[in-house]
C-alpha cells in the first residue's frame, strides 16, 4: 500500500474526519483516480473497521464516526465518479443495505458506479426490510430489475438468503436479478442462496451487473 493510500485508510480507521477530507483532496490534486482513492485507501480502512467491529474491538459509535469520515470523502469524490455519458439506460437497479445493517459506503459506491455506467438507480437506503425490497420489485415498470443488496456483517448477510426465499414465494424471481455484496459475501454464499452474482469491488460490480442484465459490456467508466 502506497503512503497516500495508507494515510487514507488510517484516517478512516481513526475516525479522523478532517484528515480524511484533507488526504482525499491531496490525492485528487496529485492525479490519483477517484476509484483508486476509494478502493485502495478509504475502503481498506473501512474494511479493517468492519473486521474490528465483528471481533468486538470497536463499537457502534466508532463505526459511525469512521463511516462519517468516509462519507465526507465520498462527497468530494462522487462528482468524479458520476460522470456518465448520457447513453440509453442499461436497466433499472434497486439498491439497498440489508435489514439490521447501517453500513452503506460500499453500497453507495456501487450505486454511483452503476449510475455512471447507464443504469437507472433507485436507492432505498439502509436497514431495509425484505418485504420493502419485494414491494419495490413489484412496482418497478420493467420486465427485469437488478437488486443490489449489501451487508457488512455476517448477521445481516443471512437476510440475503431470506430475501431469496421471499422473492421466490412472491413469484417475482424471474423479474428480480440479484447481486449481493459486502465483506462476508462470497461466491460460495451466492451459489448457496441461489442469487445471480457478486463482485469484489465497484468496477467489477458494473461488469457483473451488465452480465446479469444481458447488457453489452464495455470499458467501465470511473
| Burial letters 140-156, b for 16+ CB under 10 A, else e | beeeebbbbbbbbbeeb
Name the burial class of residue 28, with classes exposed (0-12), middle (13-18) and buried (19+) by CB atoms within 10 angstroms of its CB: middle
pLDDT band, very low/low/confident/very high, at 220 (cuts 50, 70, 90): low
Under 8 Å between Cβ of 161 and 193? yes
pLDDT digits (tens, 9 = 90+) for 152-188: 889 999 999 999 999 999 999 999 999 999 989 999 9
Q: Give kind and range of the element (H or E) at residue 122.
A: strand 119-128
Query: CA-to-CA distance for 51 and 43, rounded, in angstroms?
Result: 12
Q: What grid cell was written down for 47?
A: 474494511
Cα distances (Å, whole numbers) of residue 111 to 115, 119, 169, 171, 199: 6, 9, 27, 26, 13
Checking if the pLDDT of 1 tops 70, the result is no
pLDDT band, very low/low/confident/very high, at 52 (cuts 50, 70, 90): confident
Checking if the pLDDT of 221 tops 70, the result is no
- Pick the more confident residue, 66 or 27: 27
| Burial letters 69-100, b for 16+ CB under 10 A, else e | bbeebbebbbebbeeeeeeeebbbbbbbbbbb
Write down the mean pLDDT value for the chain.
89
pLDDT band, very low/low/confident/very high, at 199 (cuts 50, 70, 90): very high
Span 185-208, mean pLDDT?
Answer: 93
3-state SS class at 39: helix
Domains and CATH numbers, the chain: 3-81 (1.10.1240.10), 91-212 (3.40.50.280)
pTM for this one? 0.68
Under 8 Å between Cβ of 123 and 96? yes
Span 55-82, mean pLDDT?
Answer: 85
Amino acid at each position: 500500500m502506497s503512503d497516500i493510500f495508507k494515510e487514507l485508510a488510517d484516517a478512516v480507521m481513526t475516525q479522523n474526519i478532517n484528515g480524511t477530507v484533507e488526504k482525499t483532496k491531496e490525492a485528487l490534486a496529485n492525479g490519483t483516480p477517484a476509484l483508486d482513492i476509494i478502493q485502495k485507501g478509504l475502503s481498506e480502512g473501512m474494511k479493517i473497521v468492519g473486521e474490528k467491529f465483528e471481533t468486538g474491538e470497536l463499537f457502534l459509535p466508532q463505526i459511525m464516526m469512521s463511516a462519517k469520515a468516509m462519507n465526507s470523502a465520498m462527497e468530494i469524490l462522487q462528482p468524479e465518479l458520476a460522470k456518465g455519458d448520457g447513453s440509453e439506460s442499461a436497466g433499472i437497479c434497486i439498491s439497498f443495505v440489508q435489514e439490521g445493517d447501517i453500513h452503506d459506503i460500499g453500497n453507495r459506491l456501487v450505486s454511483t458506479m452503476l449510475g455512471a455506467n447507464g443504469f437507472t438507480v433507485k436507492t432505498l437506503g439502509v436497514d431495509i426490510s425484505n418485504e420493502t425490497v419485494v414491494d419495490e420489485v413489484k412496482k418497478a415498470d420493467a420486465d427485469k430489475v437488478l437488486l443490489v443488496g449489501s451487508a457488512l456483517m455476517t448477521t445481516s448477510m443471512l437476510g440475503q438468503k431470506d430475501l431469496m426465499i421471499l422473492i421466490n414465494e412472491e413469484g417475482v424471481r424471474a423479474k428480480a436479478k440479484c447481486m449481493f455484496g459486502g465483506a462476508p459475501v462470497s461466491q460460495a454464499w451466492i451459489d448457496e442462496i441461489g442469487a445471480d452474482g457478486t463482485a469484489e469491488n465497484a468496477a467489477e460490480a458494473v461488469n457483473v451487473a451488465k452480465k446479469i442484465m444481458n447488457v453489452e459490456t464495455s470499458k467501465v467508466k470511473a
